[in-house]
Amino acid sequence: MADDQVTLTIDDQTVSVPKGTKVVDAAKSVGIEIPVFCYHEKLGPLGCCRMCLVEVEKMPKLMTACTMDVGPDMVVKTTTPKVEKAQKGVLEFTLLNHPLDCPVCDKGGECPLQNNTFKYGPGDTRMDFHRAENLKAGPLSPVITLDRERCIACQRCTRYSEVIEQDNALVMHNRGFNNEVGTFNNEPYDTRFSGNVIDICPVGALTNSQFRFKARTWDLTNSDTLCAHCGCNCNMTLGVRTNKFMRIEARPNDLVDDGWICDKARWGYDFLESKNRLVEARTVPDNGTMVFSSPTTQDAAVRTAEAIKKIVDEHGPESVGFIGSPYGTNEELYLYQKLFRLGFGTNNIDHKTYADSPGLPIDHYDVSEIETADLVLVIASDPTEELPILDLRIKKVVTRHGVKLAVLNDQATLMDKYAHLSLRYNIGSDAGVFAALTAAISGEGMADIKTTGIKADQLKSLVEMLRASKKVTLIYNSSALTGQSVAVLKQLMAMIKNIPSIECGAIPAVPHTNAVGAMDMGILPDYYPGGVPVADGEAIQQTWGETAPTQPGLSAMEMIRKAESGELKALLVYRANPVVDFPGGKQVEEALKKLDLLVVHDMFETETAKLAHILLPSNGPGVDDGTTTNIGGRVQFRKGGLKTAHPPDWKIISLMANTVSEEGDGINYITSFSVTDEIAKNVPGYAEISKKSIKKEGMTRVSSASINATGAVSKESSPPKPEALKLRIANYLFAHNTILDATSTLAHHFKPSIVHMHASDAKKLKLKNEDDVVVVSGDTQVSAQVEISNRCNPGGVVLPNISDEQGVWGLANSRDSVTWVEIRKV
Amino acid sequence: MIQATLSGIKNLTIGMFVTFKNMMTKPVTFQYPEVKRTMPERYRGRHFLNRDENGLEKCIGCSLCSINCPVGCIHVVAAENDPENRVSPGERYAEVYEINLLRCIYCGYCEEACPVDAVVLREHYELADYNRDTYIATKGDLLVYPEPNQFRVNILGNTERTNSK
Amino acid sequence: MTQILFHNINKKNLHTLEVYEQEGGYQGLKKAFAREPDEIVEMVKASGLRGRGGAGFPTGLKWSFLAKDVFPRYLCCNADESEPGTCKDRELLLKNPHLLIEGMILCSYACKIETGYIYLRGEFYDLCEIMEGAIEEAYAKGYLGKNILGSGFNLDIHTHLGAGAYICGEESALLNSLEGGRGEPRMKPPFPAVQGLYEKPTVINNVETLCVVPYIVNNGAEKHAAIGTEKSKGTKLVSVSGHVKKPGNYEVVMGTTVREIIYDLAGGIRDDNELKAYIPGGSSVPMVPADQVDTPYDYESLQAIGTMLGSGALIVIDHTVNVVETSLRLASFYMHESCGKCTPCREGTRWMWQLLNQIQTGQGEAAHVDKLVDICDNMSFKCFCPLGDAAVAPVISSIQKFRADYDELIEKLTANPAV
């Protein structure tokens, strides 16, 4: 037996577990349950609830199984009369001042205290005094209700705040019998991850205000689904009763989310019942070419397909285009690209406005690989705002596993606090830094990095850190890079890989739900699914048939431009909102207005939907089934829970495909998994993906082969005016948009528009803190308040995207280069 | 022949004796619907919801009746009380409380499960109707308490469907 | 009678460095610096010195348990003297602060420690000032700081005032408090000797323990080992309180009988009343009835009669007292001082107090006493730290040994239910 295994006996069963395992976990591994309250495997031992007392041979007194490491030849007994007496005694103490309001308590039915009392507790209490009275149902935050009477002071929540969140927002106050959970100065506990305390609270002390009294837990129909907000794809359970959304709970999957979800996942699902939802298919009657009234969804889909086909027949396939969404499922995106490529014969397919290409020169690491790395290098990514659960995992490995963290970014993020090395380059200098780093690693010596804002010795120490590591995980956000610098970054990756002692992988941390999946599904003008370039005609024809187009199509931004010039006649926009989210703002709107046919297939009445000639309702997450691929390349099944009158999106798309199919009847998919099976057949890397293989924890798909990316460092653009500053649009987790609308539970997180600038720039522009300004670029103005900080280097401003209304993307001219803005005082 | 006749008379007399004997006693049947039967106190008839001494609803919307119902005929949706304008004494009340009386098997488990003695099955057995919809007893139907009320404190009115004894 | 700590305690201005030096102070340093650190540890081991804080763990052994080759290490002097009845450290700190500093220097040298902390209870505000004055003097004279007396050994000593919690006398809670956290005990293992203050090896000793060290270094381990009984060596400061004529701190040789302490040193019971019971080691230990007054005052003998020497606070109770009141008073103390971390202690101490209060105020029943016994059983040895056991000790011992007092109260009030 290996040295790190310990064999012991628990209740006459022999158990062999790794050294350092706690007795309670060892017992669990052989199906012996030792009751606990304060112990949680992610938080580690505390030993304060005393529920897990067990008898250990050769120990004079009862021991707590949650704090005791297993020892060789230990003999543990969990059911002796002595243990049972202790369990009864402890439960009696625990229940001494716990109110008996189980019938009204939201935890009732899934309450560890209830369960343990039934299983181990005394039948009756001997307490004949009044139970202590305390705060009943006060707000701990706008979304969490705190009931201090029910609290059994197990400290799980406060330790979660200390160990996992690491900001000590929730603490114990007072002493002894009077101790209680609270925050400093009774301020609301509204961190990004506060909701997890609801899941870990073993009693009904911390409950979900949104779910308060809405249903009993046993009345819920729970679907094991995935979060559809960021690219982490955390696992969660969607509780539904009588086809109404009730609540969301975390569903631990250590490989994805480590057991936690962020508050946006927990409370960001009001959109399921939003007023803005598209409830029926619509056409615009006064549009000359397209007159048909109040169609059914199927009807509208058929008409859409016919109308686009007609335009293709008249103007050629390059006159139609498709803008997809990184929020769609693999199935939906796969079917759409198939429809446009095979049905309409065009490669005008895209889902993004930034530069990126499928494939990595190094391994595509799964999120859990961070734990075994010894250096995590975060590039241009702000996990806290973009991929919150990744932020928790980075914090965990840095503070508890001794992993080193290096940050390379153009703005300050909360990660800097944990970083061993944090380098901040000037906005727009990303390519220069990557090239310099590549040169430094290759031994070509130090390039001139004066203009990048990073000092030579800083870069040197980063190179040293890299060289000293055995396993490096790169986390990069290509959507926060400018121009073609993602290609330069990929060269850097290839260079790191060349260092023989390093094992290296990357996690492309684009914040959107299924950004990786959208790339894999070929929602790109120049790549077929699985990263097959359009130039590879042979491979394409083998899979997709003779008619598959092999000319590169137009990118999303090009489509908008061609629409403006009238060359593009028809555009189908699927779950995207170019008017708000694309660079250009007003121009995009004008361009879309010029289209002969604009079809919008979306969940909401977005700004783009208002321009549409045909509107198709989309069900989206929470309703439709499908698979998504997370940032770690893990494909998981996202189950729906609610039902609507509309057919699922994949059915609508396949109906369109069948309409234009030349054979007359196309493939009839039975469930979303029928599409998944076709993906497994046709998309390289997805061969192993099937209903069965992704059932429990999902499965990582095989990353597509790297295409040698070429990208040169473009010359820095010069300011149009001397006082112009470079703009960096940052993300904010709780941005006020169609997903989190004004009625959202998370509305208290909405922030005002703030422009962060360096003190030296503020001085030059004679601005001070809290000055009201407008950020101007071309015709577009965004009003904001000045905050002088070290968020970015001098010469730039950081403007977080806090709402749709704010319209920050209107400022950006395109993604080819950095945007220059002027700050004017109002 | 004579013997047969005698035997017939004898048997007829015996038979008629029983008839005559019962002619004199009080009949066990009565003229329903003119006469109504008094049911035993613990008879499990139609459901009602109680109110407490302050006139507030006793039901706290805990759904324990619903989960205990073997046929699943009770539907409860709870809501939080507004302290200014209470419906029930605690934090929570039943916003919707419906019993499908057609599906109900009158087992009384709901009454047993109720932690606050809110739902009770009473002696009202006249449940026939021409319309199926009336069998979905809503909170409004259940909260009115028919007289006479012998074993609960509050009397709050009559339903038109109830005939007093 | 041999006195180690108190032989000159009442000397005028002993708290000044000048007087302390005249009395032979800081002589141990040179002797110690001439030896290897490990030799000092061996010496303390050989002297048989045991921790005076309450548990009586051999001091030399404790020092030798420090995690090997992990630096820095810390020394914490536990001056959070908060056990009801105990006031011995207070006298040492007040009158002879340099003795403690010398003890800390010797301990630090022996354990290769360069930073020492004196954790004083919050109420010792003025003692903290005296202590700081003494530390300043020692720095000025070169007994503290860099390269002490040219030996190449460095030591800094800092004082830290607690915020007024009994539990911070528990070593791991003390460390938490010192680090700025909540005064709650930590999980053991890891023990402080392995991961203590700031997760580094830490020695935690009581004031009295550290004050004995200079004597051992000056006079040799054998001399100390010769004092006292077979297993309990040296002398002990006893804080006699309660119903005696002359309450106060007395230094006695281990093995002196309790009778001698009460009747000879403390002058006997007030008003020459009858002795009813005594609590030998502070409120956390079981009380002992009067018939065991001839027990020798040392670790083993007291343990043999089911109690403990504890911190050396002898509380004397005369026959006018009903022990229910005593228990109630102590239970209220423990209820107030429980840190609230573990369930049995947090809930149990309050419940115990509620029941005792009920008995005391006349709503008691015989069943309540039985309930109390069972609560005590559910608490003892099931709590996170010894505070729970300490809270149980006076109550359970009073019930076991003075059940009649409880019955008397219950009967009296049952017969006369006036309240």
pLDDT at C417: 58
Instruction: Give the integer Cα–Cα distance in Å for A222 and C308.
Output: 58
pLDDT at C1: 67
Interface test with C, best of A36, A37, A50 (most C CBs within 10 A): A50
pLDDT for A664 beyond 70 = no
Instruction: Give the integer Cα–Cα distance in Å for A277 and B125.
Output: 48
pLDDT at B156: 38
If you measure CA to CA, which chain B residue comes closest to A218?
Answer: B67
pLDDT at A452: 87
pLDDT at A286: 52
pLDDT for B158 beyond 50 = no
In this structure, is residue B126 part of a structural domain?
yes
Q: How confident is the model at residue B165 (pLDDT cuts 50, 70, 90)?
A: very low
Q: How confident is the model at residue A301 (pLDDT cuts 50, 70, 90)?
A: very high
pLDDT for A1 beyond 50 = no
Residues A137 and A55 in one domain: no
In this structure, is residue B31 part of a structural domain?
no
Contact between C371 and A61 using a beta-carbon 8 Å cutoff? no
CB A233 within 8 A of CB A226: yes
Residues A49 and A177 in one domain: no
pLDDT at B155: 37
Interface test with B, best of A100, A104, A211 (most B CBs within 10 A): A104
List pLDDT tens digits, range B44-69.
988 999 888 888 999 999 999 999 99
Mean pLDDT score across all residues of chain C? 93
pLDDT at B154: 33
List pLDDT tens digits, range A531-560.
999 988 899 999 998 889 999 999 999 999
Q: Spell A296-313 as b/e; 16+ CB within 10 A means b.
A: ebbebbbbbbebbbebbe
For residue A823, list its beta bridge partners.
A775
pLDDT at B163: 37
Residues A487-497: what's their mean pLDDT?
A: 91
Nearest Cα neighbor of B92 from B105, B102, B101, B83 is B83
Residues A503-521: what's their mean pLDDT?
A: 94
Contacts of range A710-713, beta carbons closer than 8 Å, 24 or more positions apart: A710/A487, A711/A431, A711/A484, A711/A485, A711/A486, A711/A487, A711/A488, A711/A490, A711/A491, A712/A484, A712/A488, A713/A431, A713/A432, A713/A435, A713/A485, A713/A488
Residues A786-815: what's their mean pLDDT?
A: 90
Interface test with B, best of A216, A241, A243, A244 (most B CBs within 10 A): A216
pLDDT at B160: 36
Q: How confident is the model at residue B133 (pLDDT cuts 50, 70, 90)?
A: confident
Residues A254 and A298 in one domain: no
Residues A104-115: what's their mean pLDDT?
A: 94
CATH architecture classification, C17-226: 3-Layer(aba) Sandwich (3.40)
Strand boundaries in A675-763, DSSP class E:
699-700, 725-736, 754-757
Instruction: Give the integer Cα–Cα distance in Å for A510 and A35.
Output: 42
For residue C315, list its beta bridge partners.
C241, C279
Q: How confident is the model at residue A661 (pLDDT cuts 50, 70, 90)?
A: confident
pLDDT at A287: 52
Residues A521 and A504 in one domain: no
Residues C58-66: what's their mean pLDDT?
A: 94
Query: What class does CATH assign to C323-415?
Result: mainly alpha
Residues of chain B with pLDDT > 90: what percent? 48
CB A395 within 8 A of CB A258: no
Q: What is the pTM of this model?
A: 0.92
Q: Which amino acid is at A311?
A: I
Q: How confident is the model at residue A709 (pLDDT cuts 50, 70, 90)?
A: low
In this structure, is residue A714 part of a structural domain?
no
Q: How confident is the model at residue A484 (pLDDT cuts 50, 70, 90)?
A: confident
In this structure, is residue B6 part of a structural domain?
no
List pLDDT tens digits, range A205-257.
999 999 999 999 999 999 999 999 999 999 999 999 999 999 999 999 999 99
Q: Terminus-to-terminus CA distance in chain A, angstroms?
A: 75
Q: How confident is the model at residue B151 (pLDDT cuts 50, 70, 90)?
A: very low
The total number of structural domains in chain B stands at 1
pLDDT at B146: 57
Instruction: Give the integer Cα–Cα distance in Å for A690 and A627.
Output: 10
Q: How confident is the model at residue C288 (pLDDT cuts 50, 70, 90)?
A: very high
Virtual torsion, Cα A490, A496, A500, A502, nearest 10 deg: -110
Residues A219 and A315 in one domain: no
In this structure, is residue A542 part of a structural domain?
yes
For chain C, give every domain's residue range.
Answer: 17-226, 240-318, 323-415
pLDDT for A651 beyond 90 = yes
Instruction: Give the integer Cα–Cα distance in Å for A237 and A49.
Output: 28
In this structure, is residue B28 part of a structural domain?
no
In this structure, is residue A322 part of a structural domain?
yes
Q: Is the peptide bond before B33 cis (omega within 30 degrees of 0)?
A: yes
pLDDT for A360 beyond 70 = yes
CATH of the domain at B84: 3.30.70.3270
Largest CA distance in chain A: 91
- In chain B, residues with a C-beta closer than 8 Å to the C-beta of A215 are 63, 77-78
Chain A residue set in contact with C, beta carbons under 8 Å: 45-51, 53, 60-62, 67, 85-86, 89-90, 92-94, 96-97, 126-127, 129, 152-153, 155, 172, 174-179
pLDDT at C415: 67
Chain A residue set in contact with B, beta carbons under 8 Å: 101, 103-104, 108, 136-137, 212-216, 218-219
Residues A405-418: what's their mean pLDDT?
A: 94
List pLDDT tens digits, range A573-586.
999 999 999 998 78
Mean pLDDT score across all residues of chain A? 91
CATH of the domain at A502: 3.40.228.10
pLDDT for B121 beyond 80 = yes
pLDDT at A665: 57
CATH of the domain at A233: 3.30.70.20
Q: How confident is the model at residue A2 (pLDDT cuts 50, 70, 90)?
A: low
H helix count then E strand count, chain A: 21, 36
In this structure, is residue A495 part of a structural domain?
yes
- The domain defined by C240-318 folds into Ubiquitin-like (UB roll) (3.10.20)
- In chain C, residues with a C-beta closer than 8 Å to the C-beta of A68 are none
pLDDT for B118 beyond 70 = yes
Domain that holds residue B83: 47-143
pLDDT at B153: 32
pLDDT for A406 beyond 70 = yes
The total number of structural domains in chain A stands at 5
Strand, coil or helix: A473: strand
pLDDT for A262 beyond 80 = yes
Contacts of C415 (CB under 8 A, 6+ apart): none
pLDDT at B125: 82
Q: Where a domain ends, among A508, A525, A557?
A: A508
pLDDT at A707: 64
In this structure, is residue B70 part of a structural domain?
yes
Residues of chain A with pLDDT > 90: what percent? 79
Residues C209-236: what's their mean pLDDT?
A: 93
pLDDT at A305: 93
Task: Estimate the crossing angle of helix C88-95 against helix C97-111, to 10 degrees.
Answer: 100
In this structure, is residue A351 part of a structural domain?
yes
- List all chains that touch chain C, counting a touch as 3 or more CB pairs closer than 8 Å: A
What is the number of CB-based contacts under 8 A between chain A and chain C? 91
Instruction: Give the integer Cα–Cα distance in Å for A21 and A775.
Output: 56
Of A61, A89, A177, the CB nearest to C346: A177
pLDDT for B157 beyond 60 = no
Residues A486-500: what's their mean pLDDT?
A: 90
CB A55 within 8 A of CB A77: yes
In this structure, is residue B13 part of a structural domain?
no
Q: Is the peptide bond before C72 cis (omega within 30 degrees of 0)?
A: yes
Q: Are strands A138-141 and A144-146 parallel, antiparallel or unpaired?
A: antiparallel
List pLDDT tens digits, range C331-383.
999 999 999 999 999 999 999 999 999 999 888 888 999 999 999 999 999 99
pLDDT for C268 beyond 50 = yes
Residues A133 and A189 in one domain: yes
Q: How many CB atoms lie within 10 A of CB C196?
A: 26
Q: How confident is the model at residue A758 (pLDDT cuts 50, 70, 90)?
A: very high
pLDDT at C416: 64
Q: Are strands A754-757 and A796-803 parallel, antiparallel or unpaired?
A: antiparallel
Contact of chains A and C by CB distance (3 or more pairs under 8 angstroms): yes
User: Would residue B106 be called left, alpha or beta, if left means φ above 0 and alpha means ψ between -120 and 50 degrees?
Assistant: left
Of C339, C378, C384, the CB nearest to A176: C339
Domain that holds residue A200: 129-271
List pLDDT tens digits, range B5-54.
999 999 999 999 988 888 888 878 877 877 777 777 788 988 999 888 88
pLDDT at A708: 62
Q: Spell C48-57 as b/e; 16+ CB within 10 A means b.
A: bbbbbbbbbe
